[in-house]
Amino acid sequence: MREIGIPHPRLPLPPAGGEDDMEAFLAWLGEAIPMVGHLGIQSMRRDDEALEWRLALSPSLNDKGTGFGGALAAQTTLLGWCWTTLWLRRHGHDRDVVVAEAGQRFLAPVTGDYRLVCTPEVEDGPERLADRLGRRGKGRIALVQRLWCGETLCLEARGDYAVLPAR
């Protein structure tokens, strides 16, 4: 059971040049952030610079039987945090990440299970982040999350994620 004000132990970094085991990361995430177990995440995978979650709609239903906007917004924010954290880990950085700014545009109702895909807002975003971390020891990256229900784009979100200096 998590205690308020007590940080959760960090997950050890993957071996140099290695990648995180997505199932192990998702299990750790569920321990670190208790609400994760209630989001309906069925799978998580990385493909180049994209991070994708597949989710069940049932835990995020609203009173109309479609996706609850607040739950969907939380999911997009958390997916961006995961993207940034996993990118840092892949590059050998054990750092804290916080969301600095986030917003969403709801385009269509979510009527079934869906997928969320997170990518950098600009192609050279990861390189800029690496440069800032090297020069200043901290940085920011803008990410975009898109929610797809079948072939329908239902939600677009954008967030700025700040990487804090090493402790």
- Condensed to tens digits (0 to 9), the pLDDT of residues 23-71 reads 999 999 999 999 999 999 999 999 989 999 999 999 999 999 999 999 9
Considering only 11-15, 70-74, 143-147, 158-162, which range has the smallest mean pLDDT?
11-15
Sheet of strand 97-106, all strands in order from the earlier edge strand to the far edge: 41-47, 50-55, 114-120, 139-149, 152-163, 97-106
Rounded Cα distance between 96 and 159, Å, is: 16
Report how far apart, in Å, the C-alpha atoms of 56 and of each of 40, 103, 118, 143 are. 5, 22, 17, 23
CB 148 within 8 A of CB 117: yes
pLDDT of 1 higher than 90: no
pLDDT of 157 higher than 80: yes
Percent of the chain with pLDDT over 90: 90
Residue with tokens 């917003």: 103
Count of other CB atoms within 10 angstroms of residue 140: 15
Count of other CB atoms within 10 angstroms of residue 148: 15
pLDDT at 110: 98
Considering only 4-8, 41-45, 77-81, which range has the smallest mean pLDDT?
4-8
pLDDT at 167: 79
Domains of the chain listed by start with CATH number: 53-163 (3.10.129.10)
146 SS3 class: strand
The amino acid that residue 25 corresponds to is: F
